[in-house]
Chains A and B, each alone.
Chain A
Amino acid sequence: MQFLTILFDTLLDILPIAAIIFGFQYLVIRKKVKHLPQVLAGFVLVLIGLSFFLMGLEQALFPMGGLMAEQLSSETFLPALAEGAQRHWSDYYWIYIFAFAIGASTTIAEPSLIAVSIKAGEISGGTINPLMLRIAVALGMAFGITLGTWRIVMGYPLQWFVLGAYILVIIQTLRSPKSIIPLAFDSGGVTTSTITVPIIAALGLGLAASIPGRSPVMDGFGMIALACLFPIITVMGYAQIAEWKEKRAAKATPAASRN
């Protein structure tokens, strides 16, 4: 019964794109769709698949993220507090470690990232090392989420962090080698896959709900935004370091050959 409701809602979700694709195809381009039965079968698979995914989302992904946030910030788990003392932000260290581990582990093995980094290595002609690039993206993502959890613990406004990150991105965009810029911006999007987004969202909202003095509306969001911004910064940073090393090596070689 529940599945039928989800199935119907999902049908409404994919109706616009189906209408747009077939509408433009038949009314504007006026050509028949090639392999029509296969295309229709594809739409049915999308419908069933999305319904299953959304059901699993409610049943597993959201609860898992929320559960971790709740357990790692509960009073029974945290170090004991002296009478009347305020809790220090460093008491939540397991949360930061967890956030970092989730961010790094989901990113480092991401197939689309592996493909992109190999390609970037080829384009750069050896200046960029594919493995180092992947590490740069994973570190950026992990740092972004960890910073996001720390922000929720402290209750600082998200604006400050995003403003700071924007300023860094702008400065680096103006200073980085041109060829790396598209790649850097893309890597921000690569890190937020369909599975990690719900887990991270639930983690942030769960933390904001269980840490005293924080509210989910004011503090719970923003983890995804930071997780997207910091890979841009680390990738451009890595490219700048790689370029600087290249230049230094180029300067050093003629000097060495003269001696």
Chain B
Amino acid sequence: MDFAFSLLRQMRDSLRDLAPVVLVIGFFQLVVVQQPLPDSVNLLDLFTGLLFVVIGLTLFIQGLQLGLFPVGEGLAQAFARKGSVFWLLLFSFALGFGSTVAEPALIAVAAKAGEVVAEGGLIANTLEAQNAFAFNLRMVVAASVGTAVVVGVIRILKGWPLHFMIIGGYIIVLLLTLAAPDEIVGIAYDSGGVTTSTITVPLVTALGVGLATAIKGRNPMLDGFGLIAFASVMPIIFVLAYGLIGV
């Protein structure tokens, strides 16, 4: 019974996320564009697709709250208290990496990036080459988030000031932008924004808050946030470097 309730509540949240998009697009279609839909777009497909999005997002988030989040948060706190820096850093990397691989927004953007890069002639225009590019991109971004969490954890342990490190990250981004091929720049900048959504934020925040509470003199609010801020700068650096080394 409880489960059915929380499922319904989750579905209401998913619908509320989707509603503004559908309303704005519907308004533009009916009032501004006033043209019949092109043949490539089937209205029935759109509606079933939206239904899939709502059902999918509802089950996905419900499943995260049931399984991944409680265990992940418990682990994060256990490692924060364990006192072994080696295991803590290894776990930090693994947590950042693993949660980013399953991030839906990243899967979506990586797939689009593969398509676009293939059409642009930068890689072979085959489905395999596209999928390989999308897969590599996701692995690079996942490794970058893993590294970001490690750097963020070291920062919490050492108590280094946050803004200087973020500003330093920005400067590295700008220097790499000058050197990296122009085609990768847009993809790199966008990959910084897609990593911090559904799975990564709660798990990584739990690690930061757990650590900040375990270490004396750290502020949970400030330190939990710091990990996320790194997780949105580091992917840009890694993807630009990936473009430099060769796609």
Contact = CB atoms under 8 A, between A and B. Distances in A.
Interface string B167-200: 1001001100100001101110110111011110
B229 interface: yes
B4 interface: no
15 contacts: A16-B97, A17-B199, A28-B87, A49-B57, A49-B59, A56-B52, A64-B25, A71-B33, A166-B170, A195-B17, A197-B108, A201-B109, A217-B186, A218-B120, A221-B190
Given A57-B104, A189-B232, 13 more contacts: A21-B98, A31-B78, A41-B66, A46-B59, A46-B64, A53-B60, A53-B104, A54-B56, A56-B54, A58-B49, A166-B170, A216-B120, A221-B190
B78 A20 contact: no
Contact of A185 (B82, B190, B197, B225): B225
Contacts of A189: 193, 196-197, 201, 228, 232
Contact of B112 (A29, A110, A202): A202
Contact of A67 (B38, B173, B192): B38
Nearest to A162: B189
A227 B193 contact: yes
B128 interface: no
B94 A24 contact: yes
Nearest to A228: B193
B93 to A, nearest CB: 10
B144 interface: no
A interface: dominant SS: helix
Interface of A: 13-14, 16-17, 19-21, 24-25, 28-29, 31, 33-35, 38-64, 67-68, 70-72, 76-77, 94, 98, 101-102, 105-106, 109-111, 157-159, 162-163, 166, 169-170, 173-174, 181-182, 185-186, 188-189, 192-199, 201-202, 205, 215-225, 227-228
Most buried by A among B40, B71, B197: B71
A218 B182 contact: yes
A45 B57 CA distance: 10
A53 B52 contact: yes
Nearest to A29: B78
Q: Interface on chain B toward A: helix, strand, loop, or mixed SS? A: helix
A56 B52 CA distance: 5
Interface in B117-175: 117, 119-120, 122, 142, 163, 166-167, 170, 173-174
Contacts, number: 313
Nearest to A12: B101
A41 to B, nearest CB: 6
A228 B49 contact: no
Interface in B193-247: 193-194, 196-199, 201, 221-222, 225-226, 228-229, 232
B196 A192 contact: yes
B176 to A, nearest CB: 11
B197 A219 contact: no
Nearest to A44: B63
A219 B185 CA distance: 10
A56 B190 contact: no
Nearest to A110: B17
Interface in B67-121: 67-68, 70-72, 74-75, 78-79, 82, 87, 91, 94-95, 97-99, 101-102, 104-105, 107-109, 112-113, 116-117, 119-120
Of the listed residues A42, A94, A195, A222, the one surrounded by the most CB atoms of chain B closer than 10 A to its CB is A195
Nearest to B22: A64
B75 A25 contact: yes
A21 B174 CA distance: 35
Contact of B190 (A38, A71, A218, A224): A224
Contacts of A57: 49, 53, 104, 108
